[in-house]
Amino acid sequence: MASKRTLSMLIFLLRWFLSYFDLTALVSCSATTTAPTIPSTTSTTDPINTTMHLTALLGLCASTASAINLYVSDYAGNVTTLEFLQESSGNYSLKPTYVNPGCAPNPSWLTLDSHSRLLFCANEGLSSANGSLTTFTINSNGSLTSLSNTTTLSGPVSAVVYGDTHDKAIALAHYSGSAVSSYLLRDSKPAFSHQFPFTLPHPGVDPERQDAPHAHEVLTDPTGQYLLSPDLGSDLIHVFAINPESLALTPCKSIPATPGSGPRHGVFYNPTGFPNAGGKTYFYLVEELSGHISSYEVSYLPNQGGLSFTGPLQSENATWLFNVPGRNAPAEIEISPDNRFLIVSNRNSTAFTLPTIGDSDSISTWALDPKTGAFNFLQLWPSSGAFPRHFSISKTGQFVAVGLQSIQTVAILQRDVATGLIGEPVARVEVSGNVTAVVWDDEWTGMGWVG
C-alpha cells in the first residue's frame, strides 16, 4: 500500500508543478495533428482542469509516437493484436497483426497489467463445466505468448488485478458460476486463493434473468482497500475488504441496488482525483435490466469494515430522453482520463441507421459535476455498429475503441478531449468472432508510450 501512496504523491507533485509552470513550451513534438484546444478560462490551479491540460499535452506527443497496439477477444476463441497507426497522409489504419487461440474456446474478458507486461484472458467456457484464465506475456512486437492456463469455476466474465507493484492478485467474476474467486500472482502465474459462492433464495423481479446470482464484474475502489462485484441476478453489489499484506479478500455487507435493475458494471468518481486526500467519492452503476445509470455517494466505514452507499442520488435512462426501439441494455461504463465525463455503451436499442453500416446502437456521454456528483446528459452518438458490448478509451482520451459484438468488428471513434464529444470513426476492422472485449496497450511509462 505504501507504493500507492508514493504514486499518489508523485501525481500530486506533477499536477502542482504544472499549475505553476506552463510546460507547453518544454514539450517539443513535431505533431501532425493539433492538440485539443484548452479554453482560456481554464484555471491552471484547478486539479481537474490541470489533468485535462496534461492529457492534452500527452496527446500531442502521442500523435508522433509509433503504432499503438490493442488486444481484442472474441467468442471464436481468439485474442487478436490490432495495430493502430496514423499514416503520413493523416488517415488512420487499424489492422490485425497477430492472432492467438490460447484462451479458447470462449474468451470473454481481457485485463492488461502494463507494469508486468501481462495480458489476462478469461475464458467463459460456455459449453463446458469450467472456465479458465490464461496468462499471456506481451512481446515487444505485440504478439502474445501463453505463460499459463488455469482452470476456474464456470463463467468468468470479468477480471481485475489488485495489490501493489510487488505483490499482486487477480479476482474473477463468475456469471454462470454465481461467485467471485481470487488468485495470487506468483511468478506472474495465478495460484488459487479464495472462492466466494453466492446464493439466491428466490428469483428476482425478472425471473428469466434473475434466476440465480450472476456476478458480472469485479473492480477495486479508488483507495485499493475494497473489491466490489455488481450482481445482475441478486440486485446487489458485493463488497470485499482487501488485506494489504496477504491480498486475501474478506466479505463485507453487500449493498442493495434497485430491485429488478440488474447491476452490470460500475465505476468510481472522486472529483479531486486524489482519493486519499478527502472529499466525496461517488459510484455510478450501469443497470442492464432497467436500462438506467444510477449514482450513489460512497462512505467508508471505520477499520476497513466495508462501504455504505447513499442513494440512488440520480437515476437516468442510459439513452436519456431519446425513444429507441427495443429494450435498451447498457453494457460498459467508464470515466474519461481527465475525470470530467461519464461514458456508457448502449445495446439492443437501434438508435441510428448509418448510410454504409446500417443499424447502429449508441454511446452516451454525460458531464460530471465535481461539486455534487451529478451527471448531466451531453451527447448520444452512434457506436458505429450493433451491440457495443465493450469499449475502452485511449490514455490521451482522444480515441474510443468500441467492441461491436454481433458484427464482429472493432471501431475506433475520435473524441474531443476538451468538449468530451465523440465523433466520427477513423478506422474499423473485422475480427474472427463476436467481440467481447477490447483494450489499449498505450500506458505512459515516463519514457515513452508502450506499444
Which tens digits make up the pLDDT trace of 154-185?
A: 999 999 999 998 899 999 999 999 999 999 99
CB 228 within 8 A of CB 218: yes
Distances (CA, A) of 49 to 265, 337, 424: 27, 12, 25
Rounded to an integer, what distance in angstroms lies between the CA atom of residue 222 and that of residue 330?
23
Rounded to an integer, what distance in angstroms lies between the CA atom of residue 334 and that of residue 348?
19
Residue 14 pLDDT > 80: no
CB neighbours of residue 287 within 10 Å: 26
What's the pLDDT at 39?
A: 31
Residue 147 pLDDT > 90: yes
User: What is the percentage of the chain residues whose pLDDT exceeds 90?
Assistant: 77
User: What is the percentage of the chain residues whose pLDDT exceeds 70?
Assistant: 83
Amino acid residing at 105: P
Residue 291 pLDDT > 90: yes
CB 186 within 8 A of CB 178: no
What's the pLDDT at 98?
A: 99
**Three cell numbers, residue 87:** 499514416
pLDDT band at 274 (very low <50, low <70, confident <90, very high): confident
CB 45 within 8 A of CB 53: no
Rounded to an integer, what distance in angstroms lies between the CA atom of residue 294 and that of residue 220?
18
Rounded to an integer, what distance in angstroms lies between the CA atom of residue 378 and that of residue 245?
43
Among the listed residues 384, 379, 381, 377, the one whose alpha carbon sits nearest the alpha carbon of residue 401: 384
Class of CATH domain 2-441? mainly beta
pLDDT band at 12 (very low <50, low <70, confident <90, very high): very low
What's the pLDDT at 327?
A: 85
Rounded to an integer, what distance in angstroms lies between the CA atom of residue 416 and that of residue 398?
6
pLDDT band at 64 (very low <50, low <70, confident <90, very high): very low
What's the pLDDT at 55?
A: 46
What's the pLDDT at 45?
A: 36
Average pLDDT of the residues in 55-63: 45
What is the residue-averaged pLDDT of the chain?
A: 87
**Three cell numbers, residue 170:** 487477480
What's the pLDDT at 4?
A: 44
Domain ranges of the chain: 2-441
Rounded to an integer, what distance in angstroms lies between the CA atom of residue 198 and that of residue 354?
43
Average pLDDT of the residues in 240-247: 98
Residue 286 CB partners (closer than 8 Å, separation 6+): 263, 264, 265, 266, 293, 318, 330, 331, 332, 333, 344
Q: Which of 125-134, 153-162, 230-239, 313-322 has the lowest mean pLDDT?
A: 313-322
Q: What is the pTM of this model?
A: 0.85
Amino acid residing at 287: E
Among the listed residues 341, 316, 337, the one whose alpha carbon sits nearest the alpha carbon of residue 328: 316
Residue 221 pLDDT > 90: yes
Q: What is the pLDDT of residues 313-329, one digit of tens each?
A: 999 999 997 766 668 99
Residue 54 pLDDT > 70: no
Average pLDDT of the residues in 176-203: 96
Higher pLDDT pick, 422 / 446: 422
User: Distance from first CA to last CA of the chain, Å, rounded?
Assistant: 28
